[in-house]
A and B are shown apart, each in its own frame.
Chain A
Amino acid sequence: DAGVTQSPTHLIKTRGQQVTLRCSPKSGHDTVSWYQQALGQGPQFIFQYYEEEERQRGNFPDRFSGHQFPNYSSELNVNALLLGDSALYLCASSLRTGEEAFFGQGTRLTVV
Chain B
Amino acid sequence: GDSVTQMEGPVTLSEEAFLTINCTYTATGYPSLFWYVQYPGEGLQLLLKATKADDKGSNKGFEATYRKETTSFHLEKGSVQVSDSAVYFCALTQGGSEKLVFGKGTKLTVNP
Interface residues of A (CB under 8 A from B): 4, 31, 33, 35, 40-45, 48, 50, 55-56, 58, 90, 92, 94-106
Contacts and interface: CB of A to CB of B under 8 A. Distances in A.
Contacts, number: 63
A95 B43 CA distance: 19
B102 interface: yes
5 closest Cβ pairs, A-B complex:
A42-B102, A103-B43, A45-B99, A103-B44, A105-B43
Interface of B: 4, 32, 36, 41-46, 49, 51, 89, 91, 93, 95-105
Given A42-B105, A90-B44, A101 B96 contact: no
Given A41-B105, A103-B43, A105-B42, A96 B99 contact: no
Contacts of B100: 33, 35, 43, 45, 92, 101
B7 to A, nearest CB: 13
Nearest to A108: B41
A94 B49 CA distance: 15
B64 to A, nearest CB: 15
A4 B44 CA distance: 11
Contacts of B97: 31, 48, 50, 55, 94-98
Nearest to A4: B43
21 contacts: A33-B100, A35-B100, A41-B104, A41-B105, A42-B103, A43-B44, A43-B100, A48-B99, A55-B97, A56-B99, A90-B43, A92-B44, A95-B97, A97-B97, A99-B32, A99-B49, A99-B95, A102-B46, A104-B43, A105-B42, A106-B43
B22 to A, nearest CB: 15
A20 to B, nearest CB: 19
Contacts of B4: 42
B47 to A, nearest CB: 11
A45 B104 contact: no
B42 A100 contact: no
A56 B32 CA distance: 18
A21 to B, nearest CB: 13
A42 B89 contact: yes
